Amino acid sequence: MDHAERAEYERLRRTLGMRNRRLRLWGASLLLLLAVLMAPISVVATWVNSEVTDVDRYEQTVSPLARDPAVQDLIIDRVTDGLVHKIDVRKITDTLADTLADHDAPRFLVDAARSLDEELKGGLRTGVRYTVARVVTSDAFAKAWDNIHRGTHTAATNVLTGEGGGALEVKGDTITLNVGAVIEEVQEQLIGVTLVGAEDIPGADKSIVLVHNDHLSEARDAARWLGVVGPWLPLAVVVLAGLGIWAAPSRRVALMAAGIGIGAMMCVLLIALTVMRQICLDAVPPAAQSQDAAAAVYDTLVRFLRQTIITVLLTALLTVIAGYLYGHGRGAAAVRAAAARYTQTAGHALARTGLKPGAAGRWLRTHRPLTTGVVIGAGILVLFLWNYPTPASVALVLLLVVVVLASLGVLAAAAQRSNAE
């Protein structure tokens, strides 16, 4: 080719390369955008699915409710009110006054007996409340609560699907707390202790309204849908993000972009949980009489969801930091140089002690990028396969990865020192 043909060839190749780069950029951006948008849905769906299908996780979720002071106070007050309401105080005072009158008691004493309604009701309330509180705050009740709900495995499912019966139920647009287990235990301890007969004690279907919201049905329908797709969404997010990073012209930049995007969505999800909490508290009806109990129930039910969000946020932050450290920035270069210097110093000191890594050390030194990638990939795989990862488990895996990489670097440096000698 002459000079003109060569110039035309180079121009066409540059044009084709720019078009290919632009196409890869658009494709990678679309894949990463889908992964980022699906990340919060994936987190919520995974939480819903775990609460519905894992009985151990469910028990861990609802168990603290039986031990929460605000929930205990609400149950004690409601059960006490129901029991005292069944007692006919007027009938008791009239009977006492008639008895005094039949025995020719002074008139003022008979009239005083008829006016003891409030005093008698107050005394009865105190006695009944003491008995109910003793039941609700006992270890036996907490254990019974765990055993009952582990066996039924319905409370969390009812909140999310609105079906069946259990401790927490959805009735239309209302979330109620069923205290039947409390009532049954109180029945055994109150009969013969107070003036309430067995037939007057409320039945085991006694329930307390916690939250009423006109949009609860829509939220429950969304939870059902999330429960169906929950097992597949995390894998879909990982695949989309991986394809986007692979297709991007700069994979390091794409990795950092994915981390920043997913981290931002986790922050949005945390804010949404806070806003939803306030909405639920504002929707507490006057009949519930306890925002503290409603807040305790909400915080207890979503605590594992919040923990998962923080875990994903921490992982995304570490991904961004890792992408930066492998870049060409001055700070990243300084960190890499310092790490190389320390590992080399440690490796040389190890070699001076007489340790010779031999062929394994030489292989590690020759295939350093491969071993680094394998160790980091193994750490990511461990986190992905971890049943319910937490921020602590992420920190543990990160520490192990750093220790292994440092150890391999020290062995490689020791092999280099041995060969030099």
Q: Taking 90 as the threshold, does the pLDDT of residue 34 lie above it?
A: yes
Q: Which residue reads 């006694």 in tokens? A: 206
Q: Which has more confidence, 400 or 418?
A: 400
Q: What is the pLDDT of residues 215-260, one digit of tens each?
A: 556 666 666 666 667 678 888 898 999 899 888 888 888 999 999 9
Q: Which residue has the higher pLDDT, 119 or 48?
A: 48
Lowest-pLDDT range of 90-99, 169-178, 266-275 = 169-178
pLDDT for residue 278: 85
User: Does the structure show a pLDDT above 90 at 268?
Assistant: yes
CB 311 within 8 A of CB 394: yes
399 has pLDDT over 90: yes
- Please state the rounded mean pLDDT for residues 122-142: 76
Q: By CB neighbour count within 10 A (0-12 exposed, 13-18 middle, 19+ buried), where does 228 fall?
A: exposed
Using DSSP, state whether 207 is helix, strand or coil: strand
Q: What is the mean pLDDT of residues 162-168?
A: 53
Residues in the chain, overall count:
421
Cα–Cα distances (Å) from 411 to 1, 218, 238, 354, in that order, read 53, 59, 33, 13
**Structural element, H or E, at residue 302:** helix 291-325
Query: Distance between CA atoms of 311 and 93, rounded to whole angstroms?
Result: 63
Digit-coded pLDDT (tens) for 185-205: 555 555 544 444 444 444 444
Give CA–CA dist 323/135, Å, rounded. 56
Strand residue runs (E) in 35-124:
none
- Over the chain, what is the mean pLDDT? 75
Quick one: average pLDDT of 22-29?
83
How many other CB atoms are found less than 10 A from the CB of residue 101? 16
Domain residue spans of the chain: 22-67+145-186+195-327, 330-420
Pairing of strands 207-212, 168-171: unpaired
With a pLDDT cut of 70, the percent of the chain lying above it is 62
**Bigger pLDDT: 176 or 281?**
281
User: How distant, in Å, are the alpha carbons of 79, 127, 295, 309 from that of 138?
Assistant: 16, 17, 22, 34
